[in-house]
């Protein structure tokens, strides 16, 4: 029997199963520089040690999404090598900031199982937790994946579908210890718009576009040690329905977030991701644009220096938002999503009040 790992299949999972994912990772200033080079992100808190210190942190934390990708990358060999589809994620909450030199490890627990009616696959729900070298939570999230079965005759498990919230309760969210916007410098941050300047229903076309290259998404995905073959193996993908390597969906999220700086430049910290849909596949050569809508504005409990926005950000392919009717890329009355929409992300961010 070969020692090469072919990934877990649906019948390899059972409720309550715990997985310690391999390859802990020390994230450094090298990861930070590469993340900036791959995304062009400009949020001041993650760009400048001095800005971070003026905000009460010991130095610039790594970008929240870089932390997510590193944590997520650990889980791929165990969870999604045999994925037919990555169906969704929810209840993603950031904890302690991650600083250069911190080491991340990720564990997961199976919290739901449901065999598909055809009997050849099934959905696995897992809750994953990434911790730093002190065991502090830096990120937790739920993800569900449709996995092939190795043996169609394997018995179906009892169906357990976990109850998940569609929206992380803003009352449960807080800024990292020490972080304060009391001495916030709007000019250095690059945007004059404070939390109170945003209104529910407001929409923002982030204007800038970014054309993606194969080398770029491959560098990003390898940086995260994400091993899903669809991103790297053109010979394999030639036989797929796309005939192309697929861009890791997380890279699309990062580019949309980086583009969103233009209009949301003070959204220094992502606190939680409520939901995300990869509506269409993304390929090298695509040009990405981003557009956001303010879904909620919520004060941050017990603080006057910061407030929360619940945002919906769409990533668009080869068409800026301005090319949609009314400049609005949301689905029309018929509910149909335009094929140019790659990503529909629902998340909470903190801004200075």
Residues 294-353 contacting a second copy, CB under 8 A: 318-320
Candidate segments 16-24, 89-97, 117-125, 302-310, binder of a second copy by CB under 8 A: 16-24
CA 300/CA 118 separation, integer angstroms: 47
Site for a second copy in 68-97 (CB under 8 A): 77
Q: Among 14, 23, 85, 326, which residue interacts with a second copy (rule: CB under 8 A)?
A: 23
CA 87/CA 22 separation, integer angstroms: 23
Widest Cα–Cα separation across the chain: 63
Site for a second copy in 112-141 (CB under 8 A): 133
Site for a second copy in 223-262 (CB under 8 A): 223, 225, 227, 229, 232-236, 245, 262
Q: Where are the beta strands (DSSP E) in 228-299?
A: 269-278, 287-299
Please, which residue, 220 or 342, has the CB nearer to a second copy?
220
Please, which residue, 38 or 147, has the CB nearer to a second copy?
38
Site for a second copy in 24-53 (CB under 8 A): 24-26, 28-34, 36-40, 42-44, 47-51
CA 288/CA 253 separation, integer angstroms: 10
Q: Among 6, 163, 166, 177, which residue interacts with a second copy (rule: CB under 8 A)?
A: 6
Residue 326's CB: how many other CB atoms inside 10 A? 10
137 to 166: interface string for a second copy, x by CB under 8 A: ------------------------------
CA dihedral sign, ordered 46, 27, 289, 329: negative
Candidate segments 23-31, 118-126, 143-151, 298-306, binder of a second copy by CB under 8 A: 23-31
Please, which residue, 164 or 318, has the CB nearer to a second copy?
318
Q: Among 69, 143, 149, 206, which residue interacts with a second copy (rule: CB under 8 A)?
A: 206
CB 142 within 8 A of CB 94: no
Q: Which residue, among 26, 25, 68, has the nearest Cα to 46 in the 3D structure?
A: 68
Q: Which residue, among 349, 177, 151, has the nearest Cα to 268 in the 3D structure?
A: 349
Q: Among 116, 148, 154, 208, which residue interacts with a second copy (rule: CB under 8 A)?
A: 208
Candidate segments 83-91, 162-170, 182-190, 338-346, binder of a second copy by CB under 8 A: 182-190
CA 68/CA 84 separation, integer angstroms: 22
CA 249/CA 276 separation, integer angstroms: 10
CA 84/CA 147 separation, integer angstroms: 6
């Amino acid at each position: 029997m070969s020692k090469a790992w072919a990934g877990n299949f649906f019948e390899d999972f059972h409720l309550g199963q715990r997985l310690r994912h391999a390859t802990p990772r020390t994230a450094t200033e090298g990861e930070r520089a590469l993340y900036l080079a791959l995304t062009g992100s400009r949020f001041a808190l993650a760009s400048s040690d001095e800005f971070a210190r003026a905000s009460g942190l010991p130095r610039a934390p790594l970008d929240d999404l870089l932390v997510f990708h590193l944590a997520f990358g650990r889980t791929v060999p165990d969870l999604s090598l045999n994925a037919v589809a990555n169906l969704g994620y929810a209840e993603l909450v950031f904890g302690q900031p991650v600083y250069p030199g911190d080491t991340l490890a990720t564990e997961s627990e199976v919290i739901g199982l449901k065999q598909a009616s055809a009997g050849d696959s099934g959905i696995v729900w897992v809750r994953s937790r990434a911790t730093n070298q002190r065991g502090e939570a830096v990120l937790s999230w739920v993800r569900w994946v449709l996995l092939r079965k190795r043996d169609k005759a394997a018995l179906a498990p009892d169906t357990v579908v976990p109850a998940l919230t569609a929206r992380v309760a803003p009352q449960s969210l807080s800024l990292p210890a020490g972080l304060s916007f009391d001495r916030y410098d709007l000019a250095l941050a690059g945007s004059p718009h404070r939390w109170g300047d945003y209104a529910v229903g407001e929409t923002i076309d982030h204007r800038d576009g970014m054309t993606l290259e194969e080398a770029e998404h491959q560098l990003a995905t390898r940086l995260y040690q994400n091993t899903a073959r669809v991103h790297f193996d053109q010979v394999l993908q030639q036989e797929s329905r796309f005939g192309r390597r697929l861009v890791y969906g997380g890279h699309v999220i990062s580019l949309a977030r980086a583009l969103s700086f233009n209009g949301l430049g003070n959204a220094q910290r992502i606190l939680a991701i409520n939901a995300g849909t990869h509506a269409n596949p993304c390929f090298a050569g695509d040009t990405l644009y981003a557009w956001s809508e303010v879904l909620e504005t919520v004060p941050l409990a017990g603080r006057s220096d910061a407030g929360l926005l619940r945002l919906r950000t769409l990533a668009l392919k080869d068409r800026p938002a301005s090319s949609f009717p009314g400049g609005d890329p949301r689905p029309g009355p018929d509910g149909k999503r335009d094929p140019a929409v790659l990503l529909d992300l629902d998340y909470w961010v903190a801004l200075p009040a």
